[in-house]
Chains A and B, each alone.
Chain A
Amino acid sequence: MTLSPQLPSSPALPEPGFNFAYLDEQTKRSIRRAALKAVAIPGHQIPFSSREMPMSYGWGTGGVQVTASVIGQMDTLKVIDQGADDTTNAVNIRRFFRKVCGINTTERTEEATLIQTRHRIPETPLREGQIMVYQVPMPEPLYFIEPSRTEANKMHALEEYGPVYVRLYEDITRFGHIAMAYDYPVMVNDRYLMKPSPIPRFDNPKLHMNPALQLFGAGREKRIYALPPYTKVKSLDFEDHPFTVETWDQPCEFCGATDTYLDEVVTDDQGSRLWICSDTDYCNQRQQNNHLLTPTLS
């Protein structure tokens, strides 16, 4: 892998024959009303009338519908898939919005006003005014305990979250530690149990008191939920087994970062592997900066 060239990001005219951002205005209004309720009740899932999108469920239809309802002509969109700007899902969704909105796109976290993400939060800290849109496969944290949506709603109403702690406790008795590596449940504003979408546990601390607005869209499950900026988000844990994040023994092979989430890449059939940053934008920027620094260092 080398430095990926910056994609052209100048705005083009939107494709004729579509409404701006693909969705019709009636649909946008219903999604917008759901998103506003979601912001008012942080962590609580709001049902919405999820539409058929020109991609299959599991490819981010929930996130795409939220983005389409929020996005405007002045926005600059970044799309990441597992931290990478250049994977199939990210490239396709970015191209989709360029086509139906004619908006600017970027790979740089700090340039983006709107970031749609699948399963990562960028390493570069987010700022006020930015909006994160998460693609969510399964929004209901109680689903594995109570498959009925009506009953799960009652459990949320009664704050009946004991069984989730039992689930974490079972991990401790079996493995000696909580083994949930991603989609680690969190308590929002001391009230609602929430699934943060399948982000690695490493990213959970970034949810807490984040200056950006975070919106979550689940297309197949037809739910929207949100974290307003500066909202308390606590990962579930026990006093004697506090929440911890993953650490690695080695730095990123490309940029040398020691404080990022690393992906394991298998390089041959002899068992060789290397570890690289999952956030491609962050890694590229570090490599460029390291490159600039090299002459003075050597």
Chain B
Amino acid sequence: MLTTQLPGFKDPVHDAQKTFRALLDALARPGIQQTTASLTPPEGLKPSCAAACLTLLDLETTVWLQPSISGSARSWLLFHTGCRFTADSQTADFAVIDQIEIMPRLDEFNWGTAAYPEASTSLLIQLPALEGTGSAVLQGPGILDTIALQTPLRTPFWQQWQAMTENYPLGLDAWCFADRQVLGLPRTAQLAGRQEGQ
């Protein structure tokens, strides 16, 4: 059956570079929003998340998609990156999540090993917006003193995150995406204190 795919980056070289710098800056400065290159994403992917996928994924990467993500997003990723898909979240290099409420627990992903903590899964979390009512105060490398976040990530997520950071250097690194914005959450970002959001 012949299917047509939406195009990827308009300028594959420079758009990928621009998106990489946004992802790099996001991880180097947790809690500070960065802007990726723009593109027309397939149904089910935010523009910034789609840009990150084109920047990071290729034949060498294994990807876990949350089952709620549409088939068109899946075939778009396959067409543009040639990545491999897995149904086992433990074996994924990258995991794309679009419904935070029903995502697997953080410890169901790969946290790496003591000698090779870099063998862990990176989470690409799509949110309706980066601003929300869930509060968290983060500290760690990349953060001068502390930084306060107001995101849709809520208490259950931050409880799991805190439990995860106690296992450093094992753990997950995450990026949160909404529209063309990205927010980085490296495993070094620890909760300094948390207020209940409503």
Contact = CB atoms under 8 A, between A and B. Distances in A.
A72 B21 contact: yes
B56 A42 contact: no
Contact of A42 (B12, B16, B18, B188): B188
A298 B104 CA distance: 74
B174 to A, nearest CB: 10
Interface of B: 12-14, 16-18, 20-21, 23-25, 27-29, 55-56, 58, 60-61, 113-118, 122, 140-144, 168-169, 173, 186-188
Contacts of A25: 12-13, 16
B16 to A, nearest CB: 7
A189 B189 CA distance: 12
A29 B58 contact: yes
A75 to B, nearest CB: 9
Contacts of A227: 141
A136 interface: no
Interface stretch (A5-13, A57-65, A149-157, A172-180): A149-157
A250 interface: no
25 contacts: A20-B13, A25-B12, A25-B13, A26-B58, A28-B16, A29-B16, A29-B55, A29-B58, A32-B55, A36-B24, A36-B27, A36-B122, A37-B173, A38-B118, A40-B173, A41-B187, A42-B141, A44-B117, A44-B118, A70-B20, A70-B21, A72-B14, A73-B17, A230-B143, A231-B142
A228 interface: yes
Interface in A218-258: 227-232
A288 interface: no
Contacts of A228: 27-29, 141-142, 186, 188
A179 to B, nearest CB: 30
A246 B122 CA distance: 42
Given A41-B187, A46-B118, A153-B115, A36 B142 contact: no
Of B12, B56, B114, B141, chain A has the most CB atoms within 10 Å of the CB of: B141
B13 A32 contact: no
A153 B141 contact: no
A40 B58 contact: no
A72 B115 contact: no
Interface in A251-293: none
Nearest to A49: B60
B118 A213 contact: no
B60 A30 contact: yes
A35 interface: yes
Contacts of A29: 16, 55-56, 58
